[in-house]
Structure 1
């Protein structure tokens, strides 16, 4: 479901973003330009940047690296947020233990003025506009979110062309948002022309067993490739979006985007803090990393599972409906699988397919002509699950058996060994 909120939070300081976003991304860091930026005639976008790794190492109280991050200032009337974002290290500082701490405080030491009058809260918001952009790749952050009514932490991206085309035509990818009244749930959302604000395309992920995201660090990621974006929490995939999800509206996610981290207070979606909300609250960020690895390699190789055995096309038969099974690895073409940027997993020129597009536990998988259907879409996150997003179920060795000929199926993801696979690239 789309996150139920109005148009995106744009600050009074947005002008500074637009200036930086309009600059060449070939900065002093030596970041490479994307194909879209460097050659108008390029046939297809390429991975846009060298790996970005921000570990937030440094002495306690130090500000973030200004060569990588700019710190925004101002309030935000667009969402009726209550905070004033401050400069420097007042509310965004290293803790000396490898974390960035973004702090929201109930204070106004400098008589800041907000859209509603004298500001009641301060916090911080950082972005990489003009410093770093990426097109495709794995974008992830390990974070511990705050808790309490009115808290709204987020890790997200905006299209680098926002200065030219505006929002939402620029596109927005929300890797993670959490609102305080949903302590166990985070949201991942796409915004673009015709599907922005409360009409964004997305879904939520809820921790099991009554856990709260504020209780521990969690890793939030998107794996982003041409025409596909997959969201995961701690390696568990919970949604995958492609142009087919937009109902004919424009897909604006094949170009450079920059990163944003912030902790908002109040607003239309989370609501304002109340008497139960303790201050200060903190968003702790262990790291932010971007790599050109989308977990979708172009080559073919074996996929191994229980007892080191291989995912195998029975009898090397290319007929539609041929069973896919577990078998001793033998190096044959029946065990060579290519994980494509289009979300398919292919062998012998055909696709790994959920029989009849089923979503029930125990539905077998098979080989079938590639047809672009949801039954042939797979996500391969770092946690080694292979997930069919339509069913939200994992590739599974039936009965937990490692015997030769064990049929593979889809089953509710449990984290069991029979659902763990190693894709050889």
Structure 2
């Protein structure tokens, strides 16, 4: 007599196995994510940054600076780079017509520390990885002495100091060298004090002082890629070293934004300071952070 129960059990087993194969994620799918391909989370995949969404921004609408987003960093005495400005709160910023204006002004006789004022703004929120983009127009090219910057510092600067905290210069400019901008990173292993900084060098941008441009960075656990205007227009790439550590890659932790105009200094004042250029203004249209969420 044939065992019909055995045949039925085999049939049920085969059906269940087929269902399990159909329902289980493929080797390319995330364990959680319902069909999202693993390559979509590969920071080197062509479509990776196309999946980034806006997670934070300041569009500088209205007529006042957001105290929830920014704080003033004030002080004097050269800031370690032999600069001439004092950074003050409130008096050197204006929000109007959809932009933030940061102003450098001459308030004394000139040529000495404290004869100029400016503003240095720090974001209250910090970020790890993402597409960081600032749309800005640099001060009108009228002479030597300005050193505007859009940049980031590691949150742990108060405990480990600079350059161990890491510095990311999304855009730097010196007015004695008009129509050129710079992208640079600093760390213990790579910094300008030792002459070992990693930098793009001067990048020609003829309308930097006349037009707004997008200065951006694509920042992942494997690299930082700096661009102008479009994420396809990569100007400078710094990749995480193969043997990385806190000395050469302190870029896997939170960083905050800074925006300022310095006057004079070791770099900005290399060709002197022209006292006829003040007041000078840098305008910022927005600061935006996009991230790929998994």
Q: Which TM-score band applies after superposition, normalised by the shorter structure?
A: 0.7 to 0.9
Matches within 5 A, 1:18-417: 51-59=55-63, 62=64, 64-75=65-76, 76-88=78-90, 90-95=91-96, 97-108=97-108, 119-128=114-123, 131-146=124-139, 147=141, 148-197=143-192, 198-204=195-201, 206-207=203-204, 211-235=206-230, 236-244=233-241, 250-271=248-269, 272-274=272-274, 277-293=276-292
Partners of 2:174 and 2:118 in 1: CA distance: 16
- What do you get for the CA RMSD once the two structures are aligned? 2.6
Cα distance between partner residues in 2 of 1:285 and 1:150: 20
Structure 2: how far apart are the matches of 1:103 and 1:186? 19
Contact 2:83 2:113 in 1 (8 A): no
With over 3 angstroms needed to count, the CA separation of the structure-2 counterparts of 1:117 and 1:217, relative to structure 1, is closer
How many Å apart are 1:244 and its aligned residue? 3.1
Cα offset for 1:118? 5.8
Alignment length (residue pairs): 232
Indicate the SS of the match to 1:244.
Answer: coil
Q: How many angstroms does 1:184 deviate by?
A: 1.3
Residue 81 (structure 1) shift: 0.7
Structure-2-length-normalised TM-score: 0.73
Deviations for 1:274-311, whole angstroms, at most 9, x for unmatched residues?
Answer: 25x42110000000001114xxx99xxxxxxxxxxxxx
- Cα deviation per residue 1:3-34 (whole Å; 9 max; x = unaligned)? xxxxxxxxxxxxxxxxxxxxxxxxxxxxxxxx
Contact 2:102 2:119 in 1 (8 A): yes
Structure 1: distance between partners of 2:173 and 2:183: 9
Q: 1:236-286, CA deviations, whole angstroms, 9 ceiling, x for partnerless residues?
A: 2111111239998521101110110001111110213125x4211000000
Corresponding residue of 1:374: none
**Contact 1:92–1:124 (8 Å) recurs in 2:** yes
Q: 1:226 aligns to what SS in structure 2?
A: coil
> Could you say which structure has the greater relative contact order, defined with CA pairs below 8 angstroms and 6 or more residues apart?
2
Bigger-Rg structure (1/2): 2
Q: TM-score, normalised by structure 1?
A: 0.51
- Structure 1: state its 5+ residue gaps: 1-48, 299-425
Q: Name whichever of 196-205 and 264-273 sits farther off.
A: 196-205
**Counterparts of 1:285 and 1:190 in 2: how far apart (Å)?**
22
Distance 1:181 1:66 in 2: 33
How far residue 207 of structure 1 moved from its aligned partner, in angstroms, is 3.1
SS at match of 1:81: coil
Determine the structure 1 residue equivalent to 2:50: none
Contact persistence 1:228–1:240 (CA under 8 A): yes
Q: Is the 8 A contact 2:120 2:258 kept in 1?
A: yes
Q: Helix, strand or coil for the counterpart of 2:226?
A: strand
Structure 1 consecutive aligned stretches of length 4 or more whose deviation exceeds 4 Å: 245-249
